[in-house]
Amino acid sequence: MWNGDAGVANLRTGTPRGEHDRYRIASITKTFTATVLLQLQAEGKVDLDASVDTHLPGVVRGNGHDGRAITVRQLLNHTSGIFNYTADEKFGKTYLGVGFLQHRYDTLSPRVAVAMRHQPDFEPGTGWNYSNTNYMLAGLVIEKVTDTPYATQIRQRIIKPLGLRSTTLPGTRASMPGPHGRGYSKFPDDPRGKIHDTTLLNPSWGWAAGEAISTSADLNRFYAALLQGRLLPRAALAEMKTTVPVG
């Protein structure tokens, strides 16, 4: 197996990155969320071709969005047409731009309502567009079906069985468990182009679409187990690996 890294873990001290460093895995969280939802499907608790409204009545409604016409499958493969809440201009300025510095510790509930203020990207099933809102809704479906937090399901079904000791779902906790490097970012609306330390943040804005923390070793173990069929039955894994033509 090949391993590599680039850059440093701390711009001030020049400390190199370590192979055991934890980091925010962002949208890799979606694979964990999708795995749990497909496990529930394999257990007969979720029908991928059932409407979102079956589990979340009235949640997806407004400006042309209609959860009665969108399936759970379309959430998972990004063919729902549901607007991506992180593309909302106000949300972007507040949490992804320089506003982050003031709002980094805010606790947010799933941002479905933000998406409902916009028109859908397309009619369900007629196109493809990456939307974090899809996985907010997937997390909500998991919670409705199991009557437990989605993070609890990931811990019980994936993290504990695989022994992923460095993988956490922090919820609203802003700190990072050690060891870890610092996180840095530039903001697109910052005319100075300054590099900011963004290590500490409340990850609730990403929730089931992007809140997890892990290490490369844990992620290798997770993906090996997933692709070797140890987390999903063959049919469910085939569903996960089915791609959608784009363009």
Report the catalytic residues. 27
Strand partners, 23: 214
Query: Residue-wise over 80-110: b if at least 16 C-beta within 10 A, else e?
Result: bbbbbbbbbeebbbbbbbbbbeeebeeebeb
- The answer to whether the beta carbons of residues 207 and 172 sit under 8 Å apart is no
Sign of the dihedral defined by the CA atoms of residues 131, 135, 138, 143, in that order: negative
Reading the block at residue 132, the tokens are 């974090």
Closest C-alpha among 169, 136, 133 to residue 151: 169
- The answer to whether the beta carbons of residues 171 and 61 sit under 8 Å apart is no
Closest C-alpha among 152, 146, 125 to residue 51: 125
Helix, strand, coil shares of the chain, percent, nearest 5, are 40, 10, 50
- The answer to whether the beta carbons of residues 164 and 221 sit under 8 Å apart is yes
